[in-house]
Amino acid sequence: AFVKGRWLNKSLYEIYEKEFSTKINQNTIKYRNLKVNGQLACNVNVILKSNFTIESTHHFHEKPVLDQEIEIIHNDENLIVCNKPNSMPIHPCGCFKHNSLQYILARKFKKHFKIIHRLDALTSGIVMLGKNVATVQKFGQLLKNHDVKKTYLARVVGDFPDDEQIVCDRKIFYSISKAAGVTDDRFGKESETVFRKIHSEVVETDKGKVLSSVVYCYPKTGRTHQIRIHLKCLEIGRASCRERV
């Protein structure tokens, strides 16, 4: 990574402690092969300057994802559309790389596909990926202009109301302390989701038999984890079954 503006004239130790909540020492430099400008850092007090680079090696094992064949729904010269299983991120992020949808498809088709839109790792559903820049720009503009309607299905705990539709417009704020999105009408961003019940039924879970409802979800905005957060905050709703919030 190139040194960011906020890192200038600060030491390696300060940056790792503040940005990554990690206290480093000489052993860290040795075992993570921590380098500044391509050379092994002489100590943790190296002062970072403009145009410096930092690199390190950290060995870890990726988290597993569902061993499930990815269903290809459509495939032409410009676009590939597939059904993403849950547990799998769209692209490399955090502790995922090779187990991301983008990398799995690249191994299968020997071709790199470009991201058009995203689904949460825990969410299964239809994903479009582009084969060229023009296609990505075309669909990206449609999404930006809200010319594409998104529909999700969620299974929630409890008997969801039979109203024609229920609207939740609580603002969503990303809380650093909780490392999660929360409803916050003061600091949050505008968010809106429309819900409509399909049916209720009793299902078998790891906690026994539970009354649940299947609900149509129509997000009008695209905040991270928006549907699950709005379901959780509805007084008459419940958190999604088998999904963390």
For 1, 27, 49, 53, 157, the CA distances from 37, given in Å and listed in that order, are: 10, 19, 10, 5, 53
The secondary structure of 199-240 as a DSSP string is EEEEEEETTEEEEEEEEEEEESS--TTHHHHHHHH-TT--PB
Positive/negative CA dihedral, 66, 68, 69, 73:
negative
Of 41, 22, 37, 108, give the one whose Cα is nearest residue 71: 108
| 3-state SS, residue 96 | strand
H-only helix segments in 66-118: 101-109
Length of the chain: 245
Active-site positions read: 120
In angstroms, the CA 242 to CA 67 distance is 18
Tokens of 195: 């819900």
Of 45, 112, 121, 34, give the one whose Cα is nearest residue 86: 121
